Structure 1
Amino acid sequence: MKLYIIAPLLLTLITSCSKDFLKEDPKSNLTPDNFYKTADDLNMAAIALYTQVNGAFNQSGGYATLWGGDDMTVARAGNKISYSDFDTYQATSSNDRMTNWWSYFYATIKSSNALIINYPKATAASEDDRNHAAGQAYFFRALSYFFLTRTWGEVPLITDNNVDYNRPKATPADIYALIVADLQKAETMLPDVWDGNKRQNGVDIPPTRGSAKALLANVYLTMAGWPLKQTDKYALAAAKAKEVIDNKTTWGYDLTTNYGDLWNKSGKFNHETVFGCYFNVNVSGWAWENYNMLTPNAYAPDDEGGWGDGYGEINFYKNFPPGPRKEATYQTVYFLNNKPENAVDWTKTQHKHPYFFKFRDDDAFNPVNHVNNNWIGSHTVPVIRYAEVLLTYAEAQAMSASPDASAYSAINRVRNRSGLINLTAGLSQTAFRDSVIAERGWEFAGAEPAGRWYDLIRTETVAKANSNRDASEEALKNVPNDATHTFYWAPIPIGDKQLNPNL
């Protein structure tokens, strides 16, 4: 991201501050009173948000909270134990992996709050400039709270930047109320299309009005399930997703022709990504958030010099329908010790599990011998995909009215792209919904932000899904309960609990 937007602006800022830097000058100290004045000020404040969001999605740490789903598992050894703790339902407040999301999302919220509070002061900027900056802040604050409450449940709801170590936890209902309000603002304040260096290869880098609508549709769908169970939100989810589908040409959204194109290094900019995080390993100097650490090492097998942060659960893999989607999702051939002459299938690997190939194909990956020449990459992380919009519509339409022709058309577009035939006609509401949930699981399997885990939570099927666990998997330390919702939410990080007695 920073190669396209942030780096030039930082260069401008450094140049403008270089004269007589030893002389004390209060105007050189950036404060809310003297910073939020011009369009450039707003642009720099908005750009800062991307550093935080990129940091949240560029490494495995936060994704560890999704390992409780039935699609991902990991060896319980070494530095993988913190991942395994979520997979086997024994995570504690001291878990070091989950703090990546907690810290980055709250940092995003803090930066968003500053922009939301101060953007009206930018009197030297145009109304469009003010709206576009604030629209990004509202979008990112909503996105951050959406991940926080789905992961941790009741969390502090902060809309100011005052230091307060006695903030109470807010209920999910209150958090969702703010998320909806923020996205309703974002969808009116964001543009349909960006220009200049905010648009690369015909793809918008920042969120657009379409991004806000797509996220709001998913929020409504989630509100219809556990814990709120506001079933009236199904209709709102369907209507909002339909807005995106009906106007997809406005924002340039569509499914890629081939599922595998999403994960090829040549597919960095694609029209299926409704909102994504963009990285560039060639940015000079070291900046953690510039680089994607999900690729190429994180999910590569140990047998090929990878880190093995996670791999596919066996029964989920076996139930995954064959076809081009499965072939692109999982690695099919493994070169032991990176020797092509030692080619085996997943059953002959060290951990005897199928590994995910998503994010593997990057500039640092050598397809000839599967050597990873770098531990960081430039792969795009799609936070929202158009496939999710279609599946959100299909489920929400079926649950708010009936599995009509439009609902079937939406799910069948995703199925057909994956090499599957049309879904069986005439299904009941419940059977159709279950088919969509299964489809989402296959479509977003592995370390994607549209995690399988969140679908299991909202449909109250965590225990049910994990009951189909191969005997060779690591045994569950605790067993989740779909009636009492035990182990549905991650524990609050110990550092914040020690600071705030109300957590």
Structure 2
Amino acid sequence: MRDSTYKKWIGWEKLLMAGALLTLAVSCADLDEDPTKSRLAPGSYTNQAELELGVTGLYTQLNGMARMTTFVVSGWGGDDITTHKVSNKADFREYDQRVVSPLNARSASNWQNIYSTVRAANSVLANAKDLVLPDMNVQNRLIGEAYFLRGLIYFHLTRIHGRLPLQLQPDPIVDLPLASQAEVYQQIESDLKQAETLLPDVYPGVLEGAPRPNKGSAKAILARLYLDWGGFPAKDQSKYALAAAKAKEVLDNKATYHFALLPNLESLWTIANRFNSESVFTIAYNVSLNVPNQKFGKLGHPADLLGWQETFAEIRFFEDFPEGPRKEATYRTEYDWENFSDQANPVFKKIVGPPGDIPLDLFSTNRNDYYMRLAEVYLIYAEASGRAGTVTPAAWEALNAIRRRAAGKPFGTPDKTVDLTSGDIAELAYTERKWEFAGEYLRWADLVRMERVKEALSNRNPRVSKNKAGELLKEANPIIGSLETSNYFAPIPQNEVMLNPKLGQ
């Protein structure tokens, strides 16, 4: 057992080590051009090592851009997350208060990093076009990863900005216009379907949680894509049936893909358990290899607790959150947060970790990102089945499994005190997502696709939370921008529009 675990660990660690060495090589190089080119074998690939080098470069870039909260900046638009009311959090406050400027530095950095990775993925796919390796299984899974990562990051960016220019060649077209939203979704779908075909059921030599994606990872992200596609802005309701079908494929074959819900929700947020079966795609980190995750720990605490006050929980959302084990697993409820001296907001356990897990002065951690959890696949199946009009007992069971665990009960055992068997399952599952994924930067996308931004953000004022003086607490960052659909997507960064005026049309 120890030898098997070690081999799996090495399989993951070697990827990060290679990425760290590639990053070091880039940082030491004297380059005038795009440094991503140094991560790729020049010209057409002729052997497996060159293809592996190209794919490793993609993970190097993914880790580099995902390690900071810039990657998830749109998450502050949700009614679950807020930031500090002053300090140096202006870029996050713009999303929080719905006044995102074209000059927002986080938007600009995120855009540049994602398109840098897109160019690298395009190079990998172009360089591998005529390659024929002796082991086609190796070749397929490596090329499948390139398609998966390109589709994933395009999907990530369209959730922030909506319409995008679709760069699909190694040398970018400088005056490429914006694609329609349908065209963007179609390209993402195409990439993920390619990945679904090429990736193995289980990627060999890695730990749990799919730190290298497998066939089930691609299916799960496709299910998320179809759910979005059925809502705003595309509103193609035929996609709900596809979302339900693809989610069911994952659930029906979860053992094949080595996916499973964890019995204890809180265990997801511990560093020791950062590789686990609930994640259907994991972005892995390692501080000792100079690949740290800098979104957790200190960033979620107030100055009272040596924190950097970047990611707080909204008071009204906390007040409305149903009591029980899931709330305890989501927040540090033992804190006297109402009386924090600088800014009184609840603290996410999902961000700072359970007591004693992350030192108060630490923000570079080994925490992994669960880019998507299996719990979301369960709820996509339930919600999409309802919206498609194809509700089955299995759809109710998917919803109830998440509800049971939230109540601290065995998720696979029916329980009359928790289970639901009637009502609007689509709305019940949508609401369940609200609580299940609080603090995971997903709520904003849910509000957008269902056009419920105004409903959720019009009243975030606390109702009952008071300080020791008996004063009702106030919303730290009140809304000052529009809550209409015209303000759902962040503007394309101004520097990109200056380089390509077609992006502003």
Which bin holds the TM-score, normalised by the shorter protein? 0.7 to 0.9
C-alpha deviation, 1:185, in angstroms: 0.8
**Following the alignment from structure 2 to structure 1, what is the Cα–Cα distance between the partners of residues 162 and 204?**
38
User: 1:353 aligned to 2:345?
Assistant: yes
Q: Aligned equivalents of 1:301 and 1:126: distance in 2?
A: 53
Partner of 1:425: 421
1:463 alignment counterpart: 454
Q: Is the 8 A contact 2:306 2:361 kept in 1?
A: no
Decide whether aligned partners of structure 1 residues 427 and 70 sit closer, same or farther in structure 2, where only a CA change above 3 A counts. Answer: same
Alpha-carbon contact 1:295-1:377 (below 8 Å) kept: yes
Amino acid at match of 2:274: K
- 1: CA distance, partners of 2:283 / 2:502: 33
1:333 aligns with 2:334: yes
Q: How does 1:78-97 map to 2 (within 5 A)?
A: 78-97=87-106
Shift of 1:33: 5.8
What's the CA shift for 1:108? 1.8
1:333-482 matches, cutoff 5 A? 333-334=334-335, 344-361=336-353, 366=356, 371-419=359-407, 421-428=417-424, 432-446=425-439, 448-449=440-441, 451-470=442-461, 472-473=474-475, 474-481=477-484
In structure 2, how many angstroms separate the alpha carbons of the residues matched to 1:408 and 1:257? 19
- Aligned with residue 267 of structure 2, among 261, 270, 284: 261
CA displacement 1:250-300 (0-9 Å, x = unmatched): 0111111100010011211100000011101111xxx4xx11001211112
Deviation at 1:154, TM superposition (A): 1.2
Q: Which residue number corresponds to residue 226 of structure 1?
A: 232
Report the Cα offset of residue 129 of structure 1. Answer: 2.2
- Give the counterpart letter for 1:477 in structure 2: I
Q: What's the CA shift for 1:195?
A: 2.1
The residue number in structure 1 matching 2:158 is 149
The answer to whether the 8 A contact 2:298-2:361 is kept is: no
Q: Specify the alignment match of 1:322 in structure 2.
A: 323
SS of residue in 1 equivalent to 2:105: coil
| Alignment correspondent of 1:7 | 17
Instruction: Give a deviation string over 1:304-361, Cα, whole Å, max 9, x none.
Output: 1111112111111111111121112111233xxxxxxxxx344445311101111423
1:165-190 deviation line (CA, Å, top 9, x unaligned)? 21111111001111111111111101
Structure 2 match to 1:313 = 314
> Cα offset for 1:240?
0.7
- Determine the C-alpha separation between the residues in 2 that align with 1:9 and 1:404: 45
Q: Shift of residue 72 of structure 1?
A: 1.0
- The C-alpha deviation readout for 1:84-135, integer Å capped at 9, x for no partner, is 1111111101111223432222122111111111213333453222211110
**Structure 1 pair 35/10, CA: closer, same or farther in 2 (3 Å)?**
farther
- Name the Cα RMSD after superposition: 2.4
For structure 1, the 5+ residue unaligned runs are 16-28, 335-343
TM (normalized to structure 2)?
A: 0.86
Instruction: Give secondary structure in 2 for the equivalent of 1:3.
Output: helix
Q: Specify the SS of the correspondent of 1:396.
A: helix
Which one-letter code corresponds to 2:127 in the other structure?
N
Does the C-alpha gap of structure 1 residues 303 and 124 become closer, same or farther in structure 2, counting only changes over 3 Å? same
Aligned length: 461
- Secondary structure in 1 matching 2:371: strand
User: Structure 1 residue 106 and structure 2 residue 115: aligned?
Assistant: yes
8 Å Cα contact 1:35/1:41 also seen in 2: no
Asked whether the equivalents of residues 323 and 418 of structure 1 are also in contact (C-alpha less than 8 Å), the reply is yes
CA deviation profile, 1:437-473 (whole Å, cap 9, x unmatched): 2211111111x25x10000000010111112310621
Cα gap change, 1:386 to 1:169, in 2 (>3 Å): same
Give the ranges of 4+ consecutive aligned residues of structure 1 lying more than 4 Å apart after TM superposition.
8-15, 29-35
Which one-letter code corresponds to 1:159 in the other structure? L
Could you tell me which residue of structure 1 aligns to residue 494 of structure 2? 494
Contact 2:302 2:340 in 1 (8 A): no
Distance 1:2 1:424 in 2: 40
The counterpart of 2:212, out of the listed 189, 199, 206, is 206
Name the SS for the 1:456 alignment partner. helix
- Partner Cα separation in structure 2 for residue 313 and residue 270 of structure 1: 28
- Cα distance in 2 for residues equivalent to 1:351 and 1:326: 21
Give the Cα–Cα distance (whole angstroms) in 1 for the partners of residues 101 and 19 of structure 2: 41
- Check whether the contact 1:61–1:99 (CA below 8 A) recurs between aligned residues: no
> Is the Cα contact below 8 Å between 1:346 and 1:355 reproduced in 2?
no
For 2:47 and 2:376, how far apart are their aligned partners in 1? 37
Counterparts of 1:463 and 1:296, CA distance in 2: 31
* Cα distance in 2 for residues equivalent to 1:13 and 1:356: 32
Show CA shifts across 1:358-387 (max 9, x none).
14239xx846xx842433001011001100
Structure 2 residue identity aligned to 1:44: L
TM-score, structure 1 normalization: 0.86
Against the structure 1 CA distance between its residues 31 and 140, is the aligned structure 2 distance closer, same or farther, given a 3 Å change threshold? closer
Alpha-carbon distance, 1:405 to partner: 1.7
Of 418-427 and 492-501, more deviation after overlay is shown by 418-427
C-alpha distance 182-401 of structure 1, shift in aligned 2 (>3 A): same
1:56 maps to 2:65:
yes
